[in-house]
Amino acid sequence: MATTHYDILVVGAGIAGSALAHALSTITSKLRPAPLRIALLERSLAEPDRIVGELLQPGGVAALQKLGLESCLEGIDAIPTHGYCVVRSGQIVHIPYPDGRQGRSFHHGRFIMALRERAKRAAGVDVIEATANELIECQHTNRVLGVRATRSSAGDTSGSNKEKESFFADLVVIADGCFSNFRSAVMGKALRESPTKSYFCGAILKDTRLPMPEHGTVALVQGHGPVLLYQISEHDTRMLVDVKAPVPHDLKMKILLSCREAALSTSNVVAHASVNPSLYWPGKSPTTLLSTLCRRTYKSLYIRIAPSPFLLAYHFFYVAFYSIWVMFMHPRAVHDAINPDKPRMVAPSIGEYPGLAVKSINVVSHVSPHFPVLDGLRRLWTSTLVGGTVVVKII
């Protein structure tokens, strides 16, 4: 069995793995003037065709700039994005990014290939097409020493007839995505299975005009899940439809599926709240709520400018209690029998307070199930020390 030793081994050449390999290649010091030797393993180096990771928020663009990878957004027909447009029953709510920030939307595969190309050109990085089969651990200390993998070649994608090769490294990083083969081995008892509640079904629309160009569009459809649309190239617009599990067998359109697992990131939790605004204001128009609240802390969380679990908790409490205050204090439009064409704005009367109190309890009961996710965030952002070898969990 062939063996190779590196300073760092990264399993998975997706967004995280490719960017990490490039960033690590730039690290030098007086004690180590030469670049680190890094192996980046990927099962298939062909351009992926997925519907995830197609809209990079301003926080992600800023991260690329810090890593010196902003050029990966050039030459892939990426589209600038300036915010979101929420549409419901003909009403439009504009949610611009703060401070003139910009995101980018693109074909996921083109962006991945650009990142991999930068990783290939980085000093000391070997990009290897191979399938990682198992972790190599020390029998005495359980320290992770590397992985056993099978190299890929043209005409043989299974690798069943090939000898496994051992890749050893001082540091092993597992970055093989949400369907990781090693998540249970790395997280052990901390692993918490997430049931699949629904799927995103995707389609590409040709030469489609959105209500607001260069904006992500969220269409809130009564009685159904949200529909998300955003332009990913000059002529292509992605449409994503949320379909509850199980997916109907008679679904006629050709779809690409991406499992929506339980939210384990700050931005995903806020995204769920943004497309379920009735969590905070039952019975009120979601567009009314969004136009009132969307310019508050929600935006910085959602676009990953401030991905803080503490800010997330503050946001949920703030919005919940603010929406209760609005129900009691804000005037609403009521029909005027004398002048039916011009409704009157009337504040809630004391007689309406009992009913509003019931609605307030409903608001709190809808929001409270989201708080257990903070424990998931804590586990997500914590690295695990395995017998002296740090295994970074990117899930």
Give the pLDDT of residue 265: 40
How sure is the predictor about 292, in pLDDT bands with cuts at 50, 70 and 90?
A: low
Which position has the higher pLDDT, 335 or 305? 335
Which position has the higher pLDDT, 163 or 217? 217
pLDDT digits (tens, 9 = 90+) for 230-246: 999 999 999 988 887 77
Give the pLDDT of residue 332: 74
Which position has the higher pLDDT, 393 or 189? 189
Neighbours of 163 (CB within 10 A): 9
d(CA 229, CA 214): 11
**Average pLDDT estimate for 45-63:** 92
Tokens at 106, concatenated: 């693109």
Helices 309-329 and 286-293, packing angle to 10 deg: 120
**Average pLDDT estimate for 17-41:** 91
**Average pLDDT estimate for 142-168:** 79
Which position has the higher pLDDT, 268 or 145? 145
Would the pLDDT of 73 be above 70?
Answer: yes
Would the pLDDT of 254 be above 60?
Answer: no
Give the pLDDT of residue 261: 38
Give the pLDDT of residue 10: 97
Beta strands in 235-287 (DSSP E): 236-244, 257-260
Give the pLDDT of residue 312: 65
Give the pLDDT of residue 185: 78
Would the pLDDT of 379 be above 90?
Answer: no
How sure is the predictor about 121, in pLDDT bands with cuts at 50, 70 and 90?
A: very high
Would the pLDDT of 145 be above 60?
Answer: yes
pLDDT above 90 as % of the chain: 39
Give the pLDDT of residue 363: 72
Give the pLDDT of residue 367: 60
Give the pLDDT of residue 309: 64
Give the pLDDT of residue 169: 96
d(CA 347, CA 281): 16
d(CA 267, CA 180): 21
Give the pLDDT of residue 158: 53
Among 66-80, 203-217, 321-335, the least confident range: 321-335
Summary mean pLDDT of the chain: 78
d(CA 298, CA 295): 7
Give the pLDDT of residue 380: 45
246 preceded by cis ω (within 30°)? Answer: yes
Contacts of 302 (CB under 8 A, 6+ apart): 57, 267, 270, 271, 274
CB 114 within 8 A of CB 76: yes
Give the pLDDT of residue 259: 36
Tokens at 250, concatenated: 């008679």
CB 18 within 8 A of CB 179: no
Which position has the higher pLDDT, 392 or 163? 163
pTM of this prediction? Answer: 0.71
Give the pLDDT of residue 81: 96
